């Protein structure tokens, strides 16, 4: 659980005529992480897709296009389908769905374009309708020029007629005065707008077009409902077929990654050591030779964690894939992330909200791996928040729940009391010292595995000496009092430890180590945010309760406003808590702890074969 799965390199060789069966068997078991052949051996080349690959790929493209066109979202699987159930009648049903979808889409597009053009015409007609002129009266004169547009000033030229509304101005000028009119219009900032083409009263035409637009929009809405009904009716089938075809395409494309001669193939890859027997059984019905590799190269990384810990792999991979010989920090995230989150919120009411929120995400999106993992993380964090809110802070939505008198005094903390606030800060600081120490010790273990004890002592043990020695000695030096209770008598040993650690760090890293000295103390102090955020959320909850229950009150009609303030206020606090405490709980891992030991750079284990959600094994390949 604390290290990635041990991997072994294997080579499979066999006859090309058996490649289809080998591809099918390997894809079903999803064991081998392929190393693609680089065309670097004489007599061997990469091959072409298996016989059914081209046809299947074309069908897959059509299915994915339909899924996008119909805006179909992945849904929870219902009944798993077999290859026989899915293979029969795919083309006919796909053609039928595609024809209906394309017909509806084209009709909607055509009507949408017509509506847009009509609305543009209506906008122009609306601007000119107030002039009281038919459209044909604004163009086509032999002895007059007509200027239409927006004008803020007044034209002062004899013989020139002007018709004006708030939005539009029409100026009728004799031909011999047009140049003079143009000059004056230019000075007045005239914005020319050409009148719409056509004849008749623009107001009447506007009303006729509006009737047509209303009718088209109603028809478009009906077509959109038909499209949604088609998506609802065929969406699940399309998602299932997409998985079915994706599986077949991946199998068909296996030869593109292998070394092929005229009659044989060679396949190279990595598998978990514990799965070697399973690999042999997967191809026992084919004449094939399996050879254990020499382990050259960097193996892919398969994180191996218990089911309850596995969701936190989402956060590990978000930070980076560990090296195959590194410590896997997922278990650390499982223990610390929800613990820090629960301490920061520390409220029974909010904890229940987070727990139910996470549970709803898992139930609704259980088929979406990353989303379900996030839901389980929030659910676990909510559970820890409930525990701290019930047994430590004894509060719900910022109000006491009356359990403190039934619990041991050493267990409970009251955020109203300054001495308890001081205790919270001390506990947070202690957690910081312990957690950063743990990060450095894990880093020591990693470096020792990779480079030996000497390097581990220089790179990691030195910083442990600096941190502990400095946190004991420096507060006594600067403030005359101890930061860690009971360490006042250790001033001289702490100074020696600090100086020895500094000397060792400078020896290993050079003068840059002196610049980095403050960072280790900053990282420890950063954990005080656990208490600080808990107090901030409590302060917000107290303020909301006071405004609603005391300032507004629960009497008469005020009760409506008070309830609204309570609901909106606590909803805002839930959101702020989820974002603030969620990000800061993660930050205390990513920024303050992980850099002490995490190098990363690993490649995620991606076995050949398509992960199934909606279909059963053994796809048809014809």
pLDDT in tens, 311-323: 999 999 999 999 8
With cut-offs at 50, 70 and 90, classify the pLDDT of residue 453.
confident
pTM of the model: 0.80
Nearest to 526 by CA among 587, 469, 602: 587
Give the pLDDT mean for 544-562: 88
pLDDT in tens, 214-272: 999 999 999 999 999 999 999 888 988 998 899 999 999 999 999 998 889 999 999 99
Burial class (CB in 10 A: 0-12, 13-18, 19+), 196: middle
Q: What is the pLDDT of residue 505?
A: 87
Q: Is the distance from CB of 403 to CB of 338 less than 8 angstroms?
A: no
Give the pLDDT mean for 495-509: 89
Alpha-carbon torsion (326, 329, 332, 334), positive or negative? negative
pLDDT in tens, 286-318: 888 998 877 678 899 999 899 999 999 999 999
Domains of the chain: 120-204 (3.30.70), 310-596 (no CATH)
103 pLDDT above the threshold of 80:
yes
With cut-offs at 50, 70 and 90, classify the pLDDT of residue 620.
very low
Both ends of the chain: CA-CA distance in Å?
42
* Percent of the chain surpassing pLDDT 90: 53
With cut-offs at 50, 70 and 90, classify the pLDDT of residue 621.
very low
pLDDT in tens, 392-432: 999 999 999 988 888 888 899 999 899 999 999 999 999 99
Beta bridge partners of 269: 10, 34
Q: Where are the alpha helices (DSSP H) in 256-368?
A: 276-282, 313-319, 330-345, 348-365
**Rounded to 5°, angle at Cα 496 from 493 and 500:** 140
- 579-618 in b/e form (b: 16+ CB < 10 A) is ebbbebbbebbbebbbebbbbeebeebebbbbebbbbeee
Q: What is the pLDDT of residue 287?
A: 87
Give the pLDDT mean for 329-358: 95
Dist. CA 506–CA 495, nearest whole Å: 16
């Amino acid at each position: 659980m604390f290290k990635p799965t041990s991997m072994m390199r294997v080579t499979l060789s066999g006859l090309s005529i058996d490649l289809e069966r080998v591809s099918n068997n390997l894809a079903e078991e999803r064991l081998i992480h392929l190393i693609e052949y680089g065309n670097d051996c004489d007599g061997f080349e990469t091959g072409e897709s298996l016989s059914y690959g081209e046809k299947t790929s074309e069908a897959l493209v059509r299915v994915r296009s339909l899924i996008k066109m119909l805006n179909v979202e992945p849904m929870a699987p219902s009944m798993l389908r077999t290859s026989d159930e899915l293979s029969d009648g795919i083309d006919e049903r796909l053609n039928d769905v595609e024809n209906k979808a394309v017909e509806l889409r084209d009709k909607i597009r055509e009507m949408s374009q017509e509506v847009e053009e009509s609305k543009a015409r209506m906008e122009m007609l609306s601007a000119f309708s107030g002039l009281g002129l038919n459209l044909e009266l604004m163009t086509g004169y032999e002895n007059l020029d007509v200027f239409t547009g927006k004008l803020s000033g007044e034209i002062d030229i004899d013989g020139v007629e002007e018709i004006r509304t708030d939005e539009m101005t029409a100026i009728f000028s004799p031909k011999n005065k047009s140049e003079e009119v143009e000059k004056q219009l230019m000075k007045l900032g005239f914005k020319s707008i050409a009148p719409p083409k056509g004849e008749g009263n623009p107001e009447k035409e506007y009303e006729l077009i509006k009737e047509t637009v209303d009718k088209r929009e109603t028809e478009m809405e009906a077509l959109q409902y038909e499209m949604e009904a088609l998506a609802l009716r065929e969406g699940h089938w399309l998602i299932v077929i997409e998985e079915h075809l994706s599986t077949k395409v991946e199998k068909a494309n296996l030869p593109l990654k292998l070394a092929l001669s005229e009659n044989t193939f060679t396949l190279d890859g990595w598998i978990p050591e514990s799965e070697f027997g399973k690999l042999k059984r997967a191809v026992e019905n084919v004449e094939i030779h399996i050879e254990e590799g020499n382990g050259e190269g960097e193996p892919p990384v398969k994180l191996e964690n218990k089911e309850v810990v596995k969701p936190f792999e989402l956060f590990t991979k978000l930070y980076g894939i560990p090296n195959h010989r590194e410590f896997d920090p997922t278990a650390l995230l499982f223990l610390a992330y929800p613990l820090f989150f629960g301490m920061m919120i520390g409220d029974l009411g909010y904890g229940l909200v987070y727990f139910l929120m996470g549970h709803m995400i898992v139930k609704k999106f259980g088929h979406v791996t990353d989303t379900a993992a996030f839901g389980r993380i929030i659910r676990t964090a909510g559970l820890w928040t409930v525990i701290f809110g019930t047994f430590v802070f004894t509060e719900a939505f910022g109000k006491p729940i009356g359990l403190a008198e039934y619990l041991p005094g050493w267990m409970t903390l009251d955020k109203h009391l300054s001495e308890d606030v001081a205790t919270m800060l001390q506990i947070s600081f202690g957690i910081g010292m312990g957690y950063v120490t743990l990060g450095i010790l894990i880093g020591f273990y990693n470096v020792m595995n990779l480079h030996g004890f000497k390097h581990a002592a220089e790179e990691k043990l030195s910083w442990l000496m600096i941190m502990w020695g400095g946190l004991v000695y420096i507060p006594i030096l600067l403030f005359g009092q101890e930061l860690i209770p009971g360490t006042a008598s250790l001033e001289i040993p702490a100074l020696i430890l600090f100086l020895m650690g500094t000397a060792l760090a400078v020896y290993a890293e050079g003068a840059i180590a002196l610049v980095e000295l403050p960072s280790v103390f900053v990282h420890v102090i950063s954990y005080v945010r656990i208490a600080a955020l808990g107090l901030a959320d409590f302060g917000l909850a107290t303020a909301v309760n006071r405004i609603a229950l005391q300032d507004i009150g629960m009497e008469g009609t005020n009760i409506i406003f008070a309830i609204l303030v309570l609901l909106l206020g606590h909803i805002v606090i839930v959101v702020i808590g989820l974002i603030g405490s969620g990000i800061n709980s993660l930050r205390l891992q990513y920024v303050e702890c992980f850099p002490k030991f995490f190098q990363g750079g690993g490649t995620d284990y991606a076995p050949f074969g398509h992960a199934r959600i909606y279909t059963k094994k053994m796809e048809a390949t014809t």
